[in-house]
Amino acid sequence: MASLGLSEADKQSVETFRQTVVEPSRTSLVIVDFWAEWCGPCKQLTPVIEKVAADYASKGVKLVKVNVDEERFIAAQFRVQSIPTVYAVFKGQPVADLSQARTEGQLKQMLDQILAQLPIQSDDAALEQEIAPLLAMGEEILDGGEPERAMSIFAQIEQMAPGNFDATAGAARALVLLGQLDAAQEALDSLPPEASKAQSVERARAALALARDAKPVSDLSALEARVAADPDDHEARYELAGGHMANGDNDAAADALLEIIRRDREWNEGAARTQLLTLFGAVGLENPWVSAQRRKLSAILFG
């Protein structure tokens, strides 16, 4: 937007527009709302557009209002002929006309479509990149058997990103390892309904379920003797699997459960398979160990 030959007032308008719209639009999506005090429809639209802009601020959306009576030169540059006129601006150029959006739903739908196509640098994306390595570190430390250290990392993430499902789920799993099952349940219950399908939350719930069922057994020899004497004593083998899980020996637990399934897949209404799937969920469905055990299960069921 050239400023040669302009009045001082117009030059100031151009400079203000550059600072408030053009520069921010290099990395953000700027909604430019052309309005006037005497415009009734503008006043009706104002609370809608301000709310949506506030809701989308973390997604990289900014709102700039331009009074056409005070900024006639800017309005002329955008060929504003009626108001309200609303444009979405990116890298200094209008990329969409939002003027027809009159409701919150319409405006959000249009913004979602625009944001999906542009490389907007949102606060949400930046925060996600920042906490991703912390989440990975917390998971690694937790899998290494250090729940207290993991708890401190997940707590740090929750401070940075309140409501982060993965951090809360990780903290819950750490509490399970620490034996604080009620606290783990409380943490999971604090999550909103939409978190229930998150893989990290499902894993934490599975770990909690196993911990509630597990009964640590210091000496498994009696159960092993029962199984050796009667390989079809599935109750003893099932208890043996639970003892192995409580003692952290997932390999032995899986072997015991798979053997029950191999001998009688319908025993106790499929309890062995249900417990094995719960174990898979607790370990993590993407874990290579789970993939290997799934292959063994498939060989038994379909071999």
For the cut 80, the answer to whether the pLDDT of residue 125 exceeds it is: no
How much is the pLDDT for 303?
77
Q: Using 50, 70 and 90 to split pLDDT, how confident is the model at 5?
A: low
42 as an active site residue: the answer is yes
For the cut 70, the answer to whether the pLDDT of residue 151 exceeds it is: yes
Residue 222 region by backbone torsions, left for phi larger than 0, else alpha for psi between -120 and 50, else beta: alpha
Q: Using 50, 70 and 90 to split pLDDT, how confident is the model at 4?
A: low
How much is the pLDDT for 3?
52
How much is the pLDDT for 295?
95
Q: Residue 48, Cβ neighbours under 10 Å: how many?
A: 16
pTM of the model: 0.60
Average pLDDT in the chain = 91
pLDDT digits (tens, 9 = 90+) for 25-65: 998 999 999 999 999 999 999 999 999 999 998 888 999 99
For the cut 90, the answer to whether the pLDDT of residue 73 exceeds it is: yes
- Kindly give, in sequence order, each residue whose CB lies less than 8 Å from that of residue 193, ignoring residues fewer than 6 positions away: none
Catalytic residue among 21, 32, 42, 141: 42
pLDDT digits (tens, 9 = 90+) for 168-182: 999 999 999 999 999
Q: Using 50, 70 and 90 to split pLDDT, how confident is the model at 262?
A: very high
Catalytic residue among 29, 31, 32, 39: 39
